[in-house]
């Protein structure tokens, strides 16, 4: 496959491995960029080569240093626009602040909207994201957004296992719609957990809706933060007679402490995540399976660059 012309891939400091893998899939090298800090901590960025008239793709994700990652992204976008890039597309595999997408209780901010405004104000023309926390987040941006979903990648992996009596389990009512899509893709039944949150990062499962007794359960969600919800879900499924081999699938491995410890001690048969966020060695554990979204993102970038359908590229 030919190399795309007039296309440059840049990487922020948050996930150079993913950016490099995307560029390799496209037959390109990452274009060098100077990213440094002043003594006071201010961020400085400058593309090392001309981007005038080029289609620029900036790969930056939200890690555990989410605020640094986003500020770095804003400044990179501005540098590209002021260097006369023809079009600036942000490739944001994990969108930080995604869960703050509505006013759930009085006086709360909609921080996801604030982040969208800042990305737009910096000068981005287009956004490629992976599995927003809620689909309506696309409406926060004043320009086109491609919200990709890696469910087919996970489905292919699960199919190869030929599990006995599988059932997809939504971790809560909010995840039921997306879990239902995943269940339909595999032609598996669906069960739903209901839960309450007495405070942030604490979840209590209150009931299980659906037949899980003797079944091989596959928990499905968009992210794992502290893993409190999914570990509580594991316990609830065991109490309802599920097969002890319980699988967990989530797109974004946020893995805030003590997620890795919880997942390791809870005893999931396998935890499948995408590589939208880099996982440092200290957070890895036995049974963790990481599936790369680089080929999917590269196909989408090529399709966009060639004015072809993105849907057929996923």
* Beta carbons of 259 and 283 less than 8 angstroms apart: yes
CA torsion 53-55-56-62 (nearest 10°) is: 150
152 as an active site residue: the answer is no
Q: What are phi and psi of 170, to 5 degrees?
A: -80, 135
Length of the chain: 314
From the candidates 152, 159, 195, 269, give the one annotated as an active-site residue: 195
Residue reference for tokens 């390109």: 28
Q: What is the DSSP letter of 134?
A: S
Give the orientation angle of helix 259-266 with respect to helix 228-239, to 10 degrees: 20
- Helices 151-159, 176-186: crossing angle, 10 deg rounding: 50
Rounded distance between C-alpha atoms, residue 21 and residue 62, angstroms: 18
Six-digit token pair at 115?
């982040």
d(CA 158, CA 197): 30
DSSP for 275-289, written as a single string: TTS---GGG--TTEE
Is the distance from CB of 263 to CB of 285 less than 8 angstroms? yes
Closest CA to 75 of 10, 161, 26, 17: 10
Rg (CA), the chain: 20
In the numeric block, the tokens 């927003």 are attached to: 132
Catalytic residue positions, numbered = 195
């Amino acid at each position: 496959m030919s190399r795309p012309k007039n296309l440059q891939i840049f990487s922020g400091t948050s996930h150079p491995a993913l950016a490099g893998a995307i560029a390799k899939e496209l037959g390109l090298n990452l274009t060098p960029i100077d990213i440094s800090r002043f003594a006071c901590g201010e961020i400085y960025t400058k593309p090392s080569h001309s981007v005038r008239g080029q289609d620029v793709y900036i790969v930056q994700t939200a890690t555990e240093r989410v605020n640094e990652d986003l500020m770095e992204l804003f400044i990179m976008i501005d540098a590209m626009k002021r260097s006369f890039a023809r079009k600036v597309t942000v490739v944001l595999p994990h969108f930080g602040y995604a869960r703050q997408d509505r006013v759930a209780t009085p006086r709360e901010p909609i921080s996801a909207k604030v982040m969208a405004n800042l990305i737009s104000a910096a000068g981005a023309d287009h956004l490629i994201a992976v599995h927003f926390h809620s689909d309506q987040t696309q409406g926060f941006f004043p320009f086109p957004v491609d919200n990709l979903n890696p469910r087919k990648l996970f489905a292919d992996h699960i199919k190869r296992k030929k599990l006995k009596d599988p059932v997809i389990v939504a971790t809560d009512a909010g995840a039921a719609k997306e879990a239902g899509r995943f269940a339909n893709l595999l032609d598996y039944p669906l069960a739903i957990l209901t839960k309450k949150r007495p405070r942030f990062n604490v979840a209590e499962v209150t009931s299980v809706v659906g037949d899980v007794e003797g079944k091989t359960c596959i928990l499905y969600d968009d992210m794992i933060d502290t893993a409190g919800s999914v570990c509580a879900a594991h316990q609830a499924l065991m109490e309802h007679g599920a097969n002890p081999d319980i699988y967990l699938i989530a797109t974004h491995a946020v893995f805030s402490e003590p997620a890795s410890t919880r997942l390791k001690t809870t005893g999931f048969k396998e935890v499948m995540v995408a590589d939208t966020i880099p996982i440092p060695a200290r957070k890895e554990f036995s049974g963790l399976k990481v599936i790369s979204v680089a080929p999917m993102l590269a196909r989408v970038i090529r399709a966009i660059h060639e004015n072809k359908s993105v849907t057929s590229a996923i």
